[in-house]
Amino acid sequence: MYRTYVILYDIRICIYIILTKRTENMIDILLATYNGEKYLRQQLDSIFAQTYTKFRLYVSDDNSSDGTYKILCEYENRYPEKVFISRPKERLGASANFLSLLKESEAEYIMFADQDDVWDKRKIEYSLKCMKYLESKYTKAHPLLIHSDLTVVDEELTTINKSLMNFLKIDPHRKRLSYLLVENVVTGSTIMMNKALKDKVKISQNCFMHDWWIALCAACFGNTGYINKPLNLYRQHGDNVLGVKNIYSLSGLITDRIKRNKEVKANYKKMYAQAQAFLEEYRDDIQQKDRQILGSFVNMQDMNRSQKIYTVFKCGFFKNNILMNLGLLFNI
């Protein structure tokens, strides 16, 4: 009998949950919450309306000050064999909160959920079907990641754009490491990953965003599959951690860069720090060509402008379109 013991820490008590024999094709859904009471019920209801039901929902509430924790407890009482809640002793932030959940999971497959999205009822079904296809191609022991498109909606779930990829002019098939270092094309709330990929993910404090770090792991160690179908309603509102900005016109790009100049510069510093941390974590595990690409990117932070531009063209550190690449050359 295979048993896994998972310790979930609450502020007041330490709860021991014993998970019995791991069920074939069991999926852990990881949900990190913080002050999400306004939209949380819609997301939870969409998860429990899934056509595929062999899942467990693990939630880490980052010490919310609103009614989020109370709502979570309602669903835990309603689905005691499926919902498991924890609270860290102090605030972690979105990425660290997700990664703390990931560290504890031992399921065959893992998915991430955002507190303000709404899932298509066949999201798990479609994702697992795609995962099984990739496993038949590469084997189950091979690190694999699945992600999909999303529908962009407003606070009331009115459609803004049917496709996030089209809205942001992103090519989801750009999976080379050199591309991913400067632009993430994998949205965390669409991810399904297998245990082989999860076991490759080493936690780092310099992880920019958890989905970006995981996409880098998939690029270096495994393969990625894309579902060309929106499986989430991706809600845009004032409290989004990372919202969507339509800056794919020259005027929009210039206006955005003027307004957010300091933020853009800070983000590039975080990109360098993430790449350096990734190289340090995996230096002995990755192929030589990937070490060289990471090293070239990290070294750019100490170069002058002409040297940076030369390295961008030499190594192919390009974003999805001309306007975004112009922004990259000015800011990197």
* pLDDT tens profile 74-110: 999 999 999 999 998 888 887 788 888 998 899 999 9
Tens-place pLDDT, residues 200-259: 998 777 888 889 999 999 999 999 999 999 999 999 987 654 445 554 444 554 555 555
Count how many residues are written for the chain: 332
| Cβ burial, residue 153 (10 Å; 0-12/13-18/19+) | buried
DSSP string, 127-169: HHHHHHHHHHHH-TTS-EEEEEEEEEE-TT--EEES-HHHHTT
Q: How far is CA 154 from CA 48, 64, 123, 203, in A?
A: 22, 23, 20, 33
pTM for this model (two decimals): 0.84
Give kind and range of the element (H or E) at residue 58. strand 55-61
Q: What is the pLDDT of residue 132?
A: 97
Within the chain, all domains assigned CATH 3.90.550.10 are found at: 4-235
- Distances from the Cα of 157 to the Cαs of 117, 162, 227, 234, in angstroms? 9, 12, 22, 9
Rounded Cα–Cα distance for residues 160 and 163 (Å): 9
234: β partners: 152
What pLDDT shows up at residue 139?
95
Contact 37, 66 (CB under 8 A): yes
Domain range 4-235, CATH architecture: Alpha-Beta Complex (3.90)
Helices 250-259 and 322-331: crossing angle in degrees, nearest 10, is 30
